[in-house]
Amino acid sequence: MKSTALDAVKKHSIQFVDLMYADLLGGWHHVTVPAERFTPSLCEKGVGVDGSSVTGFRKVKSGDMVIIPDLNSHFLHPFTDRPTLCVLGDLLDVGAKEGFSRDARFVARKAAAALARVRKGEHSLWLPELEFYLFDSVEVYGRPGHSGYRILSREAGAADGDPRVPENDNRRRGYHAACPEDRFENLRADMCATLAGMGIPVKYHHHEVGPAGQVEIELNFMPLVKAGDSVALSKWAIRNLADRNGLVATFMPKPLYGEAGSGMHFHQFLAKGSLSSFYDPTGKAPLSKVGLHYVGGLLEHGKALCAIANPSTNSYKRLVPGFEAPVRLAYSVGNRTAAIRVPGYANTPENVRVEYRPPDATCNVYLTLAAMLMAGLDGIRRKLDPGKPLSRDLFHLPPAELEAIPALPGTLNWALDALERDHDFLLEGGVFTEDLLDAWVTLKRAEARDLAERPHPREFELYLGT
């Protein structure tokens, strides 16, 4: 039997218990209680939360909520001086008998339950790839008359750490680079060891394409809610460890113009027992009918998914031609320019899967996982046909052929428009609610408007002398 958080408090002589929960946008919050107060009674009744002070939750007049510890989701805090146990929590309105509709972790649990209802005996498995940059320093200043940023990266090779590189520089020189070019091998190893200590499975780590400190930590396959926990906590741990080493870790999709952006690809499949439901035993297609219909659902709802999986204005500076980021809603076998890739090396009955490539780490990962699953299930339910896989590089197709393939949204507002038109698939089984989606769109429209109303430094270069 798995030990609970109550058992761990005794076993590790814990002094404090950190109750953690995420807001609607995915940011972590926590409240800490002395270990002697962490009793079965507290775990049943919960700890009070002012929902009106948490982004995307409640208005002041109805702000009272409680956080209920999930006793099966805990780990030793890796960054405190005193022995502290971190416990993830579920949010409820005071007096409510079920979860809070805007608690993204609750949404993820409902999505997993929806799969169990409509596909008896099946579960989903997810492998997330975490791409991010490690910079020596980042200065940001934004006031009227004084706006801009400065990024320093010694790994880029410039004497002053400026990450700009010559136009003829080989952008791919960073991929799988070895030390001394790879400055961060030891730090990534420390990060992976910390994640393992938190119960997060790591597949491998390496340097990525970006020569100014872009790296990747790839996790391993997990069930949906566990994958959500692992991604959200990995970002938290990675940023903490970078800070302790005098660095800045950023998961921004496109921190550097002209350089590789950072995505968060999700390998995924439905499984029954140890076998993938996406495996085609006849070998006539890259995927089974179930797998093809699942892909059909992702493609059908790909534009709306961007509003959840790519929910920042910066997301659309990554989703541009010329890099490995997808720009068109197509699927392929082994071709990384398509939105969905069927890995050519994953061809056994146990591991046939698809890789959905548009998402980035500015998303709330719980909502993104749930939304991808609901899109795939809608494709299975409606038997959506994705057509034949793309066999050529998107960037070298004739214009007429390229225009026949639906494009991903080019801006956040475009994606939000798509979500408002196409979201019924998310409401199936009560997984998402209209209230949650309305709150999400309102928050994201405000972000887009905030950026649109501010003069950009590049505008001064283009228009100051006009």
High-pLDDT (> 90) share of the chain, % = 74
The whole-chain average pLDDT of the chain stands at 92
- Asked whether the predicted pLDDT for residue 340 surpasses 60, the reply is yes
Tell me what pLDDT residue 176 has. Answer: 77
What structural domains and CATH numbers belong to the chain? Answer: 5-100 (3.10.20.70), 116-463 (3.30.590.10)
Tell me what pLDDT residue 323 has. Answer: 77
When pLDDT is averaged across residues 7-35 and rounded to a whole number, the result is: 96
For residues 34-70, one letter each, b for 16 or more C-beta atoms within 10 angstroms of the residue's C-beta and e for the rest, the string is ebeebeeeebeebbebebeebebbbeeeebebbbbbb
More confident residue, 384 or 207: 384
Tell me what pLDDT residue 160 has. Answer: 60
When pLDDT is averaged across residues 352-373 and rounded to a whole number, the result is: 98
Tell me what pLDDT residue 64 has. Answer: 85
High-pLDDT (> 70) share of the chain, % = 95
- Asked whether the predicted pLDDT for residue 60 surpasses 70, the reply is no
Tell me what pLDDT residue 449 has. Answer: 97
The pLDDT-based confidence of 393 (bands split at 50, 70, 90) is confident
Q: Taking the chain, what is the end-to-end CA distance rounded to the nearest angstrom?
A: 72
More confident residue, 158 or 197: 197
- Asked whether the predicted pLDDT for residue 291 surpasses 60, the reply is yes
- Asked whether the predicted pLDDT for residue 165 surpasses 60, the reply is no
Per-residue pLDDT tens over the stretch 239-278:
999 999 999 999 999 999 989 999 999 999 999 999 999 9
The pLDDT-based confidence of 164 (bands split at 50, 70, 90) is low
- Asked whether the predicted pLDDT for residue 85 surpasses 50, the reply is yes
When pLDDT is averaged across residues 119-127 and rounded to a whole number, the result is: 97
Residue closest to 314 by CA, chosen among 354, 279, 263, 272? 263
Tell me what pLDDT residue 181 has. Answer: 80
Tell me the range of 168-177, 342-351, 369-378 where mean pLDDT is highest: 369-378
When pLDDT is averaged across residues 206-234 and rounded to a whole number, the result is: 95
The pLDDT-based confidence of 350 (bands split at 50, 70, 90) is very high
- Distance (Å) of CA 51 to CA 101, 317, 431: 13, 33, 21
Tell me what pLDDT residue 163 has. Answer: 64
The two structure tokens encoding residue 369: 């996982």
Report the catalytic residues.
50, 129, 131, 208, 216, 265, 336, 355, 357
Cβ neighbours, 10 Å, residue 197: 12
The pLDDT-based confidence of 51 (bands split at 50, 70, 90) is confident
Residue closest to 51 by CA, chosen among 41, 65, 38? 65
The two structure tokens encoding residue 103: 């608690």
DSSP state for residue 17 in the 8-state scheme: E
Place of tokens 């393992």: 196
Tell me what pLDDT residue 43 has. Answer: 95
What are the backbone dihedrals phi and psi of residue 196, each rounded to the nearest 5 degrees, phi first? -60, -40
- Asked whether the predicted pLDDT for residue 212 surpasses 80, the reply is yes
- Percentages helix, strand, coil for the chain (3-state, rounded to 5) are 35, 25, 40
Place of tokens 């921004």: 252
Q: How many residues does the chain have?
A: 466
When pLDDT is averaged across residues 174-181 and rounded to a whole number, the result is: 78
Tell me what pLDDT residue 170 has. Answer: 47
Tell me the range of 44-48, 150-154, 425-429 where mean pLDDT is highest: 425-429
